[in-house]
A and B are shown apart, each in its own frame.
Chain A
Amino acid sequence: MGKFNKKKDGDLPAVSTASLPDIVFMLLFFFMTVTTMKDSSLMVQNTLPNATEVKKLEKKDRVLYIYVGKPTREYQKVFGTEPKIQLNDKFANVSEVGDFILMERAKKPQELQNVLTTALKVDKEANMGLISDIKQELRKVNALKINYTTYEGDAFRNLQ
């Protein structure tokens, strides 16, 4: 009865791992398509407020980012706890915002230079004084299209 050979004891059949690369590649492609590269690491705390009437920011190449918030803990020793502006990878003063916009605008292709949006990613705890100063700087360089980046959610939660 050679057809029904008894398996040897203790010898489990190996699980085939041949499809493991396929699974991992699938995951990889998923993450490659739904995520975008981090352009700069955050040096400020950035808890955005909530709003309900939001519009999506389409076309990432037409957006310039300005971050505002308290410096994160590791930078607090040097820069204090007052809200600061972060442009690209460094802290900046209000007066540098205009130059930053002009420089970034010059880097973009000609046809996009007039349709750029400035996304303000501002921490909830920041004061409007700083934001007003930034807006004034933006007006000076004619970057009038802005977007207050927010999370989508009940706006009244901001007040707590």
Chain B
Amino acid sequence: MPRRGGPPEVNAGSMADIAFLLLIFFLVTTTIETDAGLDRMLPPIEPPDQDVVIKQKNIFTVNINKNGQLLVEEELLDLRDLRSRAVAFLDNGGDGSCNYCRGGKDGSSSDNPSKAIISLKNDRETKYATYITVQNELVGAYNELRNREAQRLYGRNFTEMEAEFLNPETPASIRDDLKDKVKTIQDLFPQKLSEAQTAASN
């Protein structure tokens, strides 16, 4: 007898089961990644060729002890005040050569943002969480100043521009444009965060 109505239909009833199986496999073996963090560069291990002489007033020292207390410029400071102190130091413009600084122009603080260095030291027993908080505040101080300048020059935030520049999905034409802007702002407030060898605990 000839078949009518084409070939018989394949039973797709178990399709759902197969799909569930795959779904559960992917649920178990994968994670939703939370990969974001603070980017830092370590100093190269070779010492620089010539000794650089840095004036004491251009260095902003931050010491963290093992109890998580901060010693900033030789005096005890609350962590919550660190950001504003760092901003005041970076933005000081003591020698008047910085025409975009809005700081106090204090002669005993930093000369110019390009000369200002933040030196961070920590104890071996300092908690990692405290260290990250301090790092966060210092990076925050830089970002605050850079955002201010980016708002003045380009009318948008530096952090936003940088994120867009680093995002691989941004079209190349926009990226090229952003590259120069990001570079300009970075040069206005270069991030000079030095971390000396960890002090031994005593």
Which residues of A are at the interface with B, using a C-beta cutoff of 8 A? 17-18, 20-21, 24-25, 27-28, 31-32, 34-38, 48-60, 63, 117, 119, 122-129, 131-132, 135, 138-140, 142-152, 155-156, 158-159
Give every chain B residue within 8 A of A27 (Cβ-Cβ). 23
A127 touches B32 (CB 8 A): no
A27 to chain B, nearest CB (A): 6
Other A-B pairs beyond A28-B22, A143-B42, A148-B37, 19, CB < 8 Å: A20-B16, A21-B16, A31-B27, A32-B26, A37-B29, A51-B136, A58-B167, A119-B37, A125-B128, A127-B124, A127-B125, A132-B198, A138-B42, A139-B42, A147-B40, A149-B36, A149-B37, A156-B79, A159-B129
B 138-170 to A, binary, CB cutoff 8 A, 1 in contact else 0: 011001000000000000000100110011100
- Inter-chain CA distance A150–B140, complex, in Å, is 15
B127 CB within 8 Å of chain A = yes
Q: Is the CB of A145 within 8 A of B124?
A: no
Cα A36 to Cα B126 with chains together (Å): 33
The residues in B between 20 and 44 inclusive whose CB is less than 8 angstroms from any CB of A are 20, 22-23, 26-27, 29-44
Total A-B pairs, Cβ < 8 A = 177
Residues of B within 8 A of A (CB): 12-13, 15-16, 19-20, 22-23, 26-27, 29-45, 68, 79-80, 122-133, 135-137, 139-140, 143, 159, 162-163, 166-168, 197-198, 201
Minimal Cβ-Cβ distance residue in A for B138: A53
Q: Which residues of A contact B35 (CB under 8 A)?
A: 56-57, 60, 63, 119, 149
Residues of chain A contacted by B124 (CB below 8 angstroms): 127-129, 132
* B68 x A24 contact (CB < 8 A): no
* Pair B39/A128 contact, Cβ less than 8 Å: no
> Separation in Å of the A70 CB from the closest CB of chain B?
12
Q: Are A150 and B132 in contact (CB under 8 A)?
A: yes
Partner of A49, one of B15, B128, B168, B201: B128
Q: Are A53 and B26 also in contact (CB < 8 A) when A125-B128, A139-B42 are?
A: no
Nearest Cβ on chain B to A41's Cβ, whole angstroms: 10
B37 touches A140 (CB 8 A): no
Cα A150 to Cα B133 in complex, Å, equals 11
Distance A115 CA – B80 CA, assembled complex (angstroms): 35
> Is the CB–CB distance between B36 and A57 below 8 Å?
yes
- Assess whether B130 is in contact with A158, with CB atoms less than 8 Å apart: yes
Minimal Cβ-Cβ distance residue in A for B197: A132
Q: Which chain A positions have C-beta within 8 A of B44?
A: 139, 142, 144
Whether A144 pairs with B31 at a CB distance below 8 angstroms is: no
Pairwise interchain contact A21-B15, C-beta atoms closer than 8 A: yes
Chain B residues contacting A156 (CB-CB under 8 Å) are 79-80, 133
Q: Provide the residues of chain A in CB contact with B30, threshold 8 Å.
A: 31-32, 35-38
Q: With A49-B132, A58-B166, A139-B44 in contact, do A36 and B38 touch (Cβ < 8 Å)?
A: no
Q: Is the CB of A128 within 8 A of B126?
A: yes
A17 to chain B minimum Cβ distance, whole angstroms, is: 7
Chain B residue numbers with a CB within 8 Å of A135 are 42
Nearest A residue (CB) for B201: A129
